[in-house]
Amino acid sequence: MLKKHSGFRAVFISIAQANEGAQSTIQLPHIPEQKLSICEAILVNDVKMWKAVRKVWLNVVIEGIMKDYEAKHVLAQNYVKHYNRIMADFVGDDQETDISITNLSVQIFTVPTIAHNLVEFHNAFHIMAEYFRTELQEQKTDGGPLLLEQWMEDRHNEYDRVHHVLLDLQYLLSKPPAVTDTWSEKMRQSFYAGAQTFIRILAAFQGIDPHRRETHQHVEFESGEWEHVHKLAEPVWTIEERDIAVS
């Protein structure tokens, strides 16, 4: 129905994205303080549904919302609004990643006009960078450097899921405004806030896997931590390059 009938799709969109106060809003048990649109409920309730149901809802969102630009724009705003909850659920999820609602991000953040709007008016750059920075801080010892081995070799692939945030940042910054575009003051402030947060991520790299001269005994095996550092640093530097290119 959603594929073939644009009229039915329009009705579905109007109901699914109805704002707070509409009859179609939903109050979820684990978020009792908020009344959510159906679209928002799909985003934040994804991991609590059965696998088959998740596949169906993902397909419904793609066919019913993503093919309409304005609806896709609203979806993107809701995705950023609930980004921390969506990603926290995704990181703790034990199901295959191909059924996750997070698969929508590549289709959302690679649309230049939507990405620019999210950075300017919804602080997307800062929100994503801050989420990753928080996850990174949890891998630090008290006052010490990052300890990456346990995190990256965890059998639940926690790092691989957190890495999704870095991909989102790459998508978000992949199409900077044209050189001829005039940046609004709001865009400058929002981008600056995101860049400042990202610099704090880079600062956390200080002291990872330091190489020191050993003067007391022969070192038979070098630390394998450099592999983890490279795995973490490569996507981060890609984002930094885009950050510099945009600024």
- pLDDT for 225 equals 57
- pLDDT for 112 equals 93
Helix (H) or strand (E) holding 53: helix 51-64
Question: What's the token pair of residue 227?
Answer: 């592999």
pLDDT in tens, 110-149: 999 999 999 999 999 999 999 999 998 888 777 667 777 7
- pLDDT for 125 equals 96
**Dist. CA 153–CA 160, nearest whole Å:** 10
pLDDT in tens, 226-235: 566 667 777 7
pTM: 0.86
Give me the residues of the chain with pLDDT under 50, please.
none
Contact 172, 118 (CB under 8 A): yes
Total H helices, total E strands in the chain:
12, 0
